[in-house]
Structure 1
Amino acid sequence: MSRRSLHLNAPDATVLRARLDRMKEAAAGTGVLIAPGSDLRYLIGQAGGSFERLTTLVIPADGNPAIVVPKMEAPGFGDVPLDELGIEVLTWVDGDDPYAVAAARLGKADRVAVSDFTPALHVLALREALPAAEQVLAGPIVRELRMRKDAAEIEALREAGAAIDRVHARVGDWLRAGRTEREVGADIEAAIVEEGHERADFVIVGSGPNGASPHHDVSDRVIEAGDVVVVDIGGPIPAGYNSDSTRTYSVGEPRDAGVLATYAVLQEAQQAAVDAVRPGVTAASIDKAARDVIEAAGLGELFIHRTGHGIGLDVHEEPYIVSGNELILQPGMAFSVEPGIYSDGNWGARIEDIVIVTETGVEPVNHRPHTLTIV
């Protein structure tokens, strides 16, 4: 992907400035260093690039933020409204010490939060530049901001959901006996772009026994009549927000006995979890709603992963819908609801929708049928 495409469809400066202000407030006196990636895109509308040369957004506890960037990379931030955001550009060239530049901007900070995915070579060098400062992860600060989507983010997730629904509506054109998973996956990948995504981030076509592996990719296995096939697909739209939706198909009538009865349990479990979503309940309670249905049917050992994950600028982000997560759901949180049942060596099935917590309940952004689709 080109550098330019990393900041297409960025929010306006007013939205970005509000995010920076909330970030500073949430940091509560802690200096923050934000590396290139989705956190940087959330705050300034540009993801930047991660190289051996340091690029970082410096948000001091006191004073205005600055972006430390190699002079040769500075033009890549030309479309970012840095002046309106009150961000000073601090460039450096090979032979300079960029870590000293970042450290000087932070002043005498005794605590510095560093982006979770900052390369170790930068983390260790920053530690040397700030030996007296406690170094912590910035993730707990940033996720509090990113978990609750604003109106523009929610609209982008709706757009992404509609785009991936259009792809699922076409799967029957490609999924048939005699073709390989890889061939079907290539058609799906092309359609993901045709239907409005920048690219396909993942395409899972798990046929027959491969469907029992939740993170199977594609293979050269030839799809057979009677196969149950898990199709899990998604990617970012130009605004940067991601789709992620799974539907399960059968090539003709299912070959294995018990598929329809088991799938009915899965469908009930997925709907029970969606119906349980509302403000004020815990993330763990949504996982439990799905798991209770599957366990009551005696299939609990075949549900081998969490019920869901947050989604936004990253495909996987907070909140995670998993047992033990007592996070209270709030309006604007967005996540997947995707229970699965997997019979190792035989077949698997999963149903996945992205949902958004509203003021009174839940809004799914995916609307393809949940029934086992016979193609």
Structure 2
Amino acid sequence: MSAQSESAARFPTAVYAGRLRRAAELTAASGLDALLITPGPDLKYLVGSGAASFERLTCLVIPADPSATPAVVVPTLELAGLAESAVADLGLPVHDWVDGVDPYGVVGSLLPKPGRTAVAEAMPALHVIPLTTALGAPPVLATGVLRELRMVKDEAEVEALRRAGAAIDRVHARMAEWLKPGRTEAQVADDIAAAIVEEGHTGAEFVIVGSGPHGADPHHEVSDRVIEVGDVVVIDIGGPVAPGYNSDSTRTYSIGEPSDEVAAKVAVLERAQKAAVGAVRPGVTAESVDAAARDVLAAEGLAEVFVHRTGHGIGLSVHEEPYIVSGNRIELAEGMAFSIEPGIYFRGVWGARIEDIVVVTADGCEAMNTRPHGLTVLPAS
């Protein structure tokens, strides 16, 4: 890997060193002795490794003592999967193993006994059960530690989210190239997916093209439905930029001039989205931001057609904490990143959604997306 591509694949080594120290400190503060991390977003966050998870155990072992050095247990045949990570630059010991060796015993040998060990909630049971035997006690979930680590983004992460937001904005800016009457949702989606990569993403994570009645299904993806003049079309798209941070932005389009009713209701939705963005600042609760959007819609008789939460956290995963939803009383803090995406859905007829990613700042928030928020009218021919 060249120096340029390695730089794109991960952050500077010092970023990961700081994250590992913080992970050890939070593990100790939680009354735990160690943290065990298998491949997935948490491993990528901590050491920049995109290693895949197979039946053979790969595990990052983080002792609760910040002065102790974390270690990696990995199958010999998968050592190459660590090459793009910061493991070597961090000087972490690597304990590789071959078939016939008990990797769970290797992990156990690196930990104090008896001890209280935490594992990521995505660790397969295939590994949790034999680890229980090796550790002499069942591990607990590390959800609280990992949430605290990843929920507040550092400046390197925020900059990656800015690049992701700008890249997906460039795709939305080109929508008139593809979103035309006579084309199917699937054809439009193929063009959008290619453009997502062209505009700077490493791949297209998802493409939703919900035309006409399909726009009333928030989780519709694509179909062979032919787009028609007069359709309202929901376009929800996103993907990762190096080193793995995601974009996610929704805009709603009209093929030709919309009816007065559609225009008026989307205008209310635009006000609701703006109200929620305006409610974001440190110290307010996640549920209060949800309420800011919901209250605007309720005042116009649209409460019943807003059928999902207002937002979700984003970073190395498209959906992560914090969730912007009623009942979530977590207080927002500077550096938290999440979507603001109220929608209205008229089953079997049409729907609309407006979505930005925002990052909490010292006195409000910064939007990662800047495309126009209202209904965008595209040519009918």
Q: Same fold (TM over 0.5)?
A: yes
In structure 1, C-alpha distance between the alignment counterparts of 2:145 and 2:23, rounded to whole Å = 7
Q: Secondary structure at the match of 2:46?
A: helix
Other-structure match for 2:261: 258
In structure 1, C-alpha distance between the alignment counterparts of 2:304 and 2:278, rounded to whole Å = 23
Other-structure match for 1:12: 12
Other-structure match for 2:96: 91
Q: Does 1:281 align with 2:284?
A: yes
Q: 2:272 aligns with which of 266, 269, 274?
A: 269
- Per-residue displacement from partner, 1:165-224 (whole Å, max 9, x unpaired)? 000000111111111000000010000000000000000000011001101100000111
In structure 2, C-alpha distance between the alignment counterparts of 1:321 and 1:81, rounded to whole Å = 33
Other-structure match for 1:119: 124
Counterpart residue identity of residue 338, structure 1: E
Other-structure match for 1:306: 309
In structure 1, C-alpha distance between the alignment counterparts of 2:242 and 2:365, rounded to whole Å = 25
Instruction: Give the TM-score, by structure 1 length.
Output: 0.95
Does the C-alpha gap of structure 1 residues 361 and 189 become closer, same or farther in structure 2, counting only changes over 3 Å?
A: same
Q: Does 1:240 align with 2:241?
A: no
Other-structure match for 1:177: 181
TM-superposed deviation, 1:107: 2.2
Q: Secondary structure at the match of 1:106?
A: coil
Counterpart residue identity of residue 307, structure 2: I
Other-structure match for 1:104: 109
Kept in 2, the 8 Å contact 1:61–1:106? The answer is no
Kept in 2, the 8 Å contact 1:7–1:45? The answer is no
Q: 2:139 aligns with which of 110, 135, 139?
A: 135
- Per-residue displacement from partner, 1:129-188 (whole Å, max 9, x unpaired)? 2232x4221222111011111111111101000000000000111111111000000010
Does the C-alpha gap of structure 1 residues 334 and 94 become closer, same or farther in structure 2, counting only changes over 3 Å?
A: same
TM-superposed deviation, 1:6: 9.7
Instruction: Give the TM-score, by structure 2 length.
Output: 0.94
Counterpart residue identity of residue 286, structure 1: V
Does the C-alpha gap of structure 1 residues 282 and 313 become closer, same or farther in structure 2, counting only changes over 3 Å?
A: same
In structure 2, C-alpha distance between the alignment counterparts of 1:112 and 1:347, rounded to whole Å = 50
In structure 2, C-alpha distance between the alignment counterparts of 1:45 and 1:6, rounded to whole Å = 10
Where structure 2 has 5 or more consecutive residues not aligned to the other structure, the ranges are none
Other-structure match for 2:51: 48
Kept in 2, the 8 Å contact 1:272–1:290? The answer is yes
Counterpart residue identity of residue 353, structure 1: D
In structure 2, C-alpha distance between the alignment counterparts of 1:34 and 1:6, rounded to whole Å = 22
Other-structure match for 1:166: 170
- Per-residue displacement from partner, 1:54-95 (whole Å, max 9, x unpaired)? 001011234321100001111321343435424210111001
Where structure 1 has 5 or more consecutive residues not aligned to the other structure, the ranges are none
Kept in 1, the 8 Å contact 2:185–2:223? The answer is yes
Q: Secondary structure at the match of 1:189?
A: helix
Kept in 1, the 8 Å contact 2:207–2:236? The answer is yes
Other-structure match for 1:211: 215
Counterpart residue identity of residue 113, structure 1: A
In structure 1, C-alpha distance between the alignment counterparts of 2:180 and 2:330, rounded to whole Å = 43
Other-structure match for 1:316: 319
TM-superposed deviation, 1:127: 1.5
Kept in 1, the 8 Å contact 2:338–2:359? The answer is yes
Other-structure match for 1:369: 372
Counterpart residue identity of residue 369, structure 1: P
In structure 1, C-alpha distance between the alignment counterparts of 2:8 and 2:126, rounded to whole Å = 29
Q: Does 1:152 align with 2:156?
A: yes
Kept in 2, the 8 Å contact 1:277–1:357? The answer is yes
Counterpart residue identity of residue 186, structure 1: D
Kept in 2, the 8 Å contact 1:31–1:109? The answer is no
In structure 1, C-alpha distance between the alignment counterparts of 2:282 and 2:88, rounded to whole Å = 38
Kept in 1, the 8 Å contact 2:9–2:84? The answer is no
Q: Percent identity?
A: 62
| Cα RMSD, aligned residues only | 1.5
- Per-residue displacement from partner, 1:311-334 (whole Å, max 9, x unpaired)? 111111111100111111111111
Counterpart residue identity of residue 125, structure 1: P
Other-structure match for 2:27: 27
Does the C-alpha gap of structure 1 residues 267 and 79 become closer, same or farther in structure 2, counting only changes over 3 Å?
A: closer
Counterpart residue identity of residue 47, structure 1: G
- Per-residue displacement from partner, 1:337-356 (whole Å, max 9, x unpaired)? 00000001110000000001
- Per-residue displacement from partner, 1:269-327 (whole Å, max 9, x unpaired)? 00000000011101110000000111111111100000000111111111110011111
Kept in 2, the 8 Å contact 1:282–1:326? The answer is yes
- Per-residue displacement from partner, 1:88-126 (whole Å, max 9, x unpaired)? 101110011001111111221432111111112111121
In structure 1, C-alpha distance between the alignment counterparts of 2:230 and 2:340, rounded to whole Å = 27
